[in-house]
C-alpha cells in the first residue's frame, strides 16, 4: 500500500565477514524489505559491492512501485575503523584496507552520498533513536558477542573520537597483560570476556570443547566460578568506563545476551558496588540485526560526518 506523499524511504547496508544484509526502511525506521547476500570475501570487495548495488537498485524500484516511496538516503556500516581512504582493524574483510567505502558505494549506487560508519556505533545510534537509549543524554552501548566493543553517547550524540576509534574497549588492559600487548596484536579485554576468548579459555579449563553460550548454562562449580570471574573482569572495565563518562544507562547487546538472565543481574550488582553513581543497566532493544538497524538509523540521521583522511 502506498505511503503518504510526505514520507520517504532509506537504504541501509550491513557488511559482515560472512553475510551482507540490505534493508529498505520507511521514514520511521521500520524495515519494509530486506535481502541477505553471502559476502564471499574470497572474491574480493568488488564482488560484494557489485552485488550490493544490484540489490539496492532492485529495492529502490520496489520502494517506488510497491510502496510509493522515494529513496532519499543511503548508509552502510561494517566492522573496523572507517576512514576516507580505507578501513583499519577489519580482518574479516580482507582487501578493504585501502577501500574508500563511501565514495565507492556512491559511485556503485549512482547517488550523491552514502554515509558510512562503524557497525557498533551505528547499533548504538539505532538504540539512541529507536531503542533502549532513547531520551538518554549520556550513556554507553556495549556489543558483547564474539568480540567486544562499545559506543559512547554524550550530549545525545554517538562519539566517534579523534581517530574514529572511540569505544574500542576490547583493547583495554584489565591488568595482567603486558604493557605492549596491543602493539603485539592482542586485545586484552576481548580475549578475556568476549565470546571467542571465553569459549577457548573455558575449554582449556574444563578439558572439553565448550562454547560461551553453553558455558552460561553449565551447573558445575568450576564453570560457574569461571563465569563469575569473567563477569567480574567485564564489570570492572565497565565501572572504570562509567567513572569517566558518568552514564545514566548502560545498554548491552550482542550475541552473548542470549544469557541476559545471567549477565545483566551480575553486571548490575558488580558495577553498582564499584561506582559512586551507578548507571542503570538494560538489554538492547535490537538484540538481532542491530547493525542493520544502525545502518537505517545512520541513513535517517540528519547529521553527515565525513571520515578523516
Give the whole-angstrom CA distance, residue 291 versus residue 18: 14
Residues of the chain whose pLDDT is less than 50? 5-6, 303-309
Q: Are residues 144 and 279 in the same domain?
A: yes
% pLDDT > 90, the chain: 94
Structurally, the chain folds into a number of domains equal to 2
In a domain, 296, yes or no: yes
Q: Is the residue at 141 inside a domain?
A: yes
For residue 4, tell me if it sits in a domain: no
Using one digit for the tens of pLDDT, what is the confidence trace for 252-308? 999 999 999 999 999 999 999 999 999 999 999 999 999 999 999 999 985 333 333
87 within domain boundaries: yes
Domain range for residue 225? 135-283
User: What CATH number does the domain containing 23 carry?
Assistant: 3.30.420.40
> Is 111 within the bounds of a domain?
yes
Same domain, yes or no: 113 and 166: no
249 and 142 share a domain? yes
* 305 lies in some domain: no
How far is 273 from 276, CA to CA, in rounded Å? Answer: 8
Q: Do the domain assignments include residue 2?
A: no
Note whether residue 309 is domain-resident: no
Are 108 and 211 contained in the same domain? Answer: no
Amino acid at each position: 500500500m502506498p505511503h503518504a506523499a510526505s514520507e520517504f524511504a532509506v537504504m541501509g547496508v550491513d557488511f559482515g565477514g560472512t553475510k551482507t544484509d540490505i534493508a529498505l526502511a520507511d521514514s520511521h525506521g521500520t524495515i519494509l524489505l530486506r535481502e541477505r547476500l553471502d559476502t564471499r570475501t574470497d572474491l574480493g570487495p568488488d564482488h560484494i559491492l557489485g552485488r550490493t548495488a544490484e540489490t539496492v537498485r532492485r529495492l529502490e524500484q520496489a520502494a517506488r512501485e510497491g510502496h510509493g516511496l522515494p529513496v532519499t538516503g543511503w548508509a552502510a556500516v561494517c566492522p573496523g575503523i572507517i576512514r576516507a581512504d580505507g578501513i583499519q582493524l577489519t580482518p574479516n574483510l580482507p582487501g578493504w584496507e585501502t577501500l574508500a567505502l563511501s565514495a565507492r558505494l556512491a559511485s556503485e549506487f549512482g547517488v550523491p552520498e552514502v554515509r558510512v560508519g562503524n557497525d557498533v556505533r551505528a547499533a548504538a545510534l539505532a538504540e539512541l533513536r529507536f531503542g533502549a537509549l532513547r531520551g538518554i543524554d549520556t550513556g554507553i552501548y556495549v556489543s558483547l558477542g564474539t568480540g567486544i566493543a562499545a559506543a559512547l553517547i554524550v550530549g545525545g550524540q554517538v562519539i566517534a573520537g579523534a581517530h574514529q576509534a572511540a569505544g574500542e574497549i576490547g583493547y583495554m588492559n584489565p591488568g595482567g597483560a603486558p604493557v605492549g600487548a596491543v602493539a603485539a596484536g592482542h586485545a586484552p579485554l576481548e580475549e578475556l570476556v568476549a565470546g571467542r576468548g571465553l569459549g577457548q579459555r573455558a575449554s582449556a579449563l574444563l578439558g572439553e570443547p565448550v562454547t560461551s553460550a553453553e558455558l552460561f548454562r553449565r551447573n558445575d562449580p568450576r564453570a560457574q566460578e569461571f563465569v563469575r570471574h569473567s563477569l567480574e573482569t567485564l564489570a570492572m572495565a565497565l565501572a572504570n568506563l562509567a567513572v569517566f563518562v558518568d552514564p545514566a544507562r548502560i545498554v548491552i547487546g550482542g550475541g552473548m545476551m542470549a544469557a541476559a538472565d545471567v549477565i545483566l543481574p551480575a553486571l548490575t550488582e558488580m558495577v553498582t558496588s564499584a561506582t559512586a553513581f551507578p548507571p542503570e543497566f538494560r538489554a538492547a532493544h535490537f538484540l538481532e540485526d542491530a547493525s542493520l538497524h544502525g545502518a537505517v538509523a545512520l541513513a535517517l540521521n540528519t547529521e553527515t560526518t565525513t571520515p578523516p583522511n
